[in-house]
Amino acid sequence: MVQIAPVLGPGATDAYVGGKIFDFSAGTSILTPTSGAIVLSPEQNASEIDHDKEFVSPYYASYILDDFGIRAEYTAAPHSAFFRFHFPGSAPSHLFFSSTGSVQYELPSSSILQGVEEVSGVHTYVYAEFSQPFQSHSAFEANKLSPGLSKISGKDAGIVLDFGSQRVVVGARIGFSYISVAQAKQNLAEEIPAWNFDQAKNRSRTAWNQVLSRILVQGGSEEQKTIFYTALYRSLQYMKDVTEDGRYFGPYDHTVHSAEGHHFYIEDNLWDTYRSRHPLQLLIEPERQDDTIPSYVLMYAESGWMPHFPYMRGDLVYMIGNHAASMIADSYFKGHHDFDVEKAYEGLRKNAFEATMLPDRRGPISELERFYFQNGFFPALQPGEKESVAAVNPEMRRQAVSVTLETAYDDWNIARLAQALGKKEDAALFSKRALNYRNVFNPATGFMAPRTSDGQFIPNINPKWAGGQAGRDYYTECNGLVYTFHVQHDVAGLIDLIGGRQKFIARLDSLFSDGYDGQLKFVFLSQFPDSTGLMGQYPQGNEPAFHIPYLYNYAGAPWKTQKRVRDIMRAWYAAKPLGIPGDDDNGATSSWYVLSAMGFYTVSPGRPVYDIGSPIFREVQIDLGAGKRFLIQAPNVSALNKYIQSAELNGHPLNKPWFTQADLANGGTLVLHMGPNPNKQWGSSEAAAPPSFSRED
């Protein structure tokens, strides 16, 4: 529940390149250590920092505030934080306690602060203890300071604690709760019971090491291992467990509930995370995934809708798709059934028929969804045509092609669940809808393209540049070149549409080499700012592209997948502050690296299949839980030896570029013999291609 970070000032987002620290955030609390006269100016309370003096890790951080000579340290537990401030004693020492929202604080004694903070309608209860009694205190609101006042409420308000002019180390242990101050106090007592900072730090270090060691690697360079475990750490920060003493505060009905024997998780950006972070979590933290899905079911019961972006203030209104279908189907078909699957299916089905498909909207359907149900594609507007449907977000627009493609994939997942649950009519209906991707494929151009409500494709569409800002008239953050490949569930069907394997390979090659039509790169990025990590027109920094390098496996050229994933890992991931190609989006971009560095990826979550790429480590050991381990061994692997020459799976020859959940579920070994030149015969036959919807019985 607690994440701690330095605050770099209004609007600053790049943590490492910032030259000043304004405050430290812990949850919704803000702590500001200063020395000298009390001032209520954030700019005057900020301090220069030197990044060469800092230490930052998953479990502990330390900074020197150069302007004040203060050393600030902190560590965290699940519902609590522990700060330690080293004041130099050359001037009066102060600690400001405030919030990003409105507060109600009180000081019941000279070493305790408690109260509630409200941010975006969410109440966070706080109970803080200090290792040294404060010698005096003040309250403030906006620019007014009230010495000796022990209670304060309002926005831009807080408490200033004074610790005298002597050299002193002040510890601050803080418990947090969404339920009550009493629960915050209990959380603190259970997690950080003593004034022993090193003990709390080591406990956090042990917790991180236990989960990071679920994947052990051998070989590779120090930089590759650093990138790998940093990416794994970033992936594992999510989701957020808000269970407290077997209960949780419902983000939708604002009522305290029993967690029914599970942990309750929030903070999930499904549009980003269904692709790689959830499949990774399912592999190495199945116990968390087994709690995540019941959390979604409970949120559906609370809100009446299956969530998209569940946070404490409800379902955030971002992006498109019904991607809980992917996450739930992927878990179910990989053998995880410890949830109310009928209730989950009910929620997915309701979303599919009754929830708006419009970007960045929530609520019931509009006339555009009714058109989709009848015609099988989301209608687009002609260039320059004025929007006539009031429900459309005017900034996000319709994104009509992407909505059609992503909905077809989600409906395929629902169809599979319906079939497994014996709902034959639903299975047939959703299977038909899963083929709706065909309705936005323009055979005249060979690309996915927008159609207007009269059924006509908009003429003269350039898939690279069409759609205006971020492509939003027709696409979601990426352009039509990228979204043409967004048929994860039926790659074989897409290959047929494009004209066969060789044309498909040529189209993939073109994506990785295409430029900007004589324009400077920044012109393209000004229109598509999320298309970072570019290799040609392929954007590794944005999620709709993640599966594309693995599509060569489906067209008979696995060696090209092996080359592409190595190129991407080498070019766009590095052990430095700017060593990630774009927004991490709740661990999505990092989890792509973790999976790819191990040697596989999930092109189509919902199907229990892993697509093989090119590992960078000599051996990877994955702890599957219950004493089971899956090994990936890559003899002779190196920067040059990136091509698979032959393979064995669990002692048997493997001549296909994929394996299944059943192959690893009970543990086993995948051996990939690597060499410097591609073996173009390995895994290249049509029979060796991974499964696709249109090829399944």
Is residue 638 exposed (0-12), middle (13-18) or buried (19+ Cβ within 10 Å)? middle
Enter the pTM of the model: 0.97
- Please give the mean pLDDT across all residues of the chain: 96
**What mean pLDDT comes out for the span 206-218?**
97
CA 430 to CA 18: how far, in whole Å? 50
pLDDT at res. 90: 86
Give 444-492 pLDDT, tens digit per residue: 999 999 999 999 999 999 999 999 999 999 999 999 999 999 999 999 9
> Do 73 and 84 meet the contact criterion of CB atoms below 8 Å apart?
yes
Give 30-64 pLDDT, tens digit per residue: 999 999 999 999 999 999 999 999 999 999 999 99
Cα–Cα nearest to 553, from 545, 544, 562, 542: 562
Q: Residue 76: which H helix or E strand, with range?
A: strand 70-77
pLDDT at 503 over 70: yes
Cα–Cα nearest to 344, from 262, 421, 250: 421
**What mean pLDDT comes out for the span 502-527?**
97
- Number of residues that this document lists for the chain: 697
**What mean pLDDT comes out for the span 267-286?**
97
Is it true that the peptide bond before 239 is cis, omega within 30 degrees of 0? yes
pLDDT at 9 over 90: no
Give 361-392 pLDDT, tens digit per residue: 999 999 999 999 999 999 999 999 999 999 99
Q: What is the largest CA-CA distance in the chain?
A: 80
Give 656-667 pLDDT, tens digit per residue: 999 999 999 999
205: left (phi over 0), alpha (psi -120 to 50) or beta: alpha
Sequence-ordered list of residues with C-beta below 8 angstroms from that of 482, at least 6 positions apart, any chain: 475, 511, 531, 537, 538, 539, 542, 544, 545, 548
- What CATH number belongs to 217-695? 1.50.10
> Which 3 state secondary structure label does DSSP give 239?
coil
Q: How confident is the model at residue 697 (pLDDT cuts 50, 70, 90)?
A: low
Give 549-580 pLDDT, tens digit per residue: 999 999 999 999 999 999 999 999 999 988 99
Which tokens belong to 107? 């000081």
Q: Tokens 């092109």 — which residue?
A: 603
Give 73-88 pLDDT, tens digit per residue: 999 999 999 999 999 9
Q: How confident is the model at residue 534 (pLDDT cuts 50, 70, 90)?
A: very high
Same fold, 4-212 and 217-695: no
CA 566 to CA 659: how far, in whole Å? 20
> Do 107 and 31 meet the contact criterion of CB atoms below 8 Å apart?
no
Q: How confident is the model at residue 18 (pLDDT cuts 50, 70, 90)?
A: confident
Task: Give the CB-side neighbour count of residue 529, counting CA atoms within 13 A.
Answer: 3
Sequence-ordered list of residues with C-beta below 8 angstroms from that of 194, at least 6 positions apart, any chain: none
> Do 311 and 251 meet the contact criterion of CB atoms below 8 Å apart?
yes
The secondary structure of 210-237 as a DSSP string is HHHTTEEEESS-HHHHHHHHHHHHHHHT
Q: How confident is the model at residue 350 (pLDDT cuts 50, 70, 90)?
A: very high
Rg (CA), the chain: 27
Annotation: CATH topology of 4-212: Beta-galactosidase; Chain A, domain 5 (2.70.98)
**What mean pLDDT comes out for the span 629-636?**
97
**What mean pLDDT comes out for the span 684-691?**
98
CA 583 to CA 568: how far, in whole Å? 16
> Do 617 and 220 meet the contact criterion of CB atoms below 8 Å apart?
yes
Q: Locate the domains of the chain by residue range.
A: 4-212, 217-695
